[in-house]
Amino acid sequence: MTAQDQIKETVTSNDVVLFMKGTKSMPQCGFSSRVAGVLNFMGVDFNDVNVLADDEIRQGIKDYSDWPTIPQLYVKGEFVGGCDIITEMTLSGELDTLFAENGVTFDQDAADKIREANA
């Protein structure tokens, strides 16, 4: 299976996937830590893919999405964005809407607390 096949299989067979440096319990960069932290705090069940463990996946995800940076968040097979986009969507409430529209379970109170803390 090629890296592209592996990536496609991962994003289409999981509701929420975060391609990141490190893991959700041990992020290896600040940007990955921020996005994983938001998802963890909001109680989102997500699959983490450590791009540091496989150079083909690390480059392959950039080619797959045509997006140059990591982390990359996918919801229901669709690329959502990287750290800055996820941060903006969290603060505006767009991420809540995206999850709700796609049947992804999350803690609304936690999402509200993030916004309150950053108001």
14-56, pLDDT tens digit by residue? 999 999 999 999 999 999 999 999 999 999 999 999 999 999 9
Q: Which residue numbers belong to the known binding site for [2Fe-2S] cluster?
A: 29
**How far is Cα 107 from Cα 85, in angstroms, rounded to an integer?**
20
HSE, CB side, 13 Å, CA atoms: give it for residue 4.
4
DSSP 20: E
Confidence of residue 85 (pLDDT cuts 50, 70, 90): very high
Is 119's pLDDT higher than 90? no
What would the two tokens of residue 108 be? Answer: 């609304």
Neighbours of 91 (CB within 10 A): 15
The pLDDT assigned to 1 comes to 85
Which two tokens mark 18?
Answer: 């975060």
Query: 18: which strand partners?
Result: 48, 73
Residue type, 35: V
Domains and CATH numbers, the chain: 3-117 (3.40.30.10)
Closest C-alpha to 83, from 92, 94, 71, 68: 71
User: Which of 2, 21, 22, 14 has the alpha carbon at shortest distance from 78?
Assistant: 14
Residue numbers in the known binding site are 29
DSSP string, 43-84: T---EEEEGGG-HHHHHHHHHHHT--SS-EEEETTEEEE-HH
41-51 pLDDT tens trace: 999 999 999 99
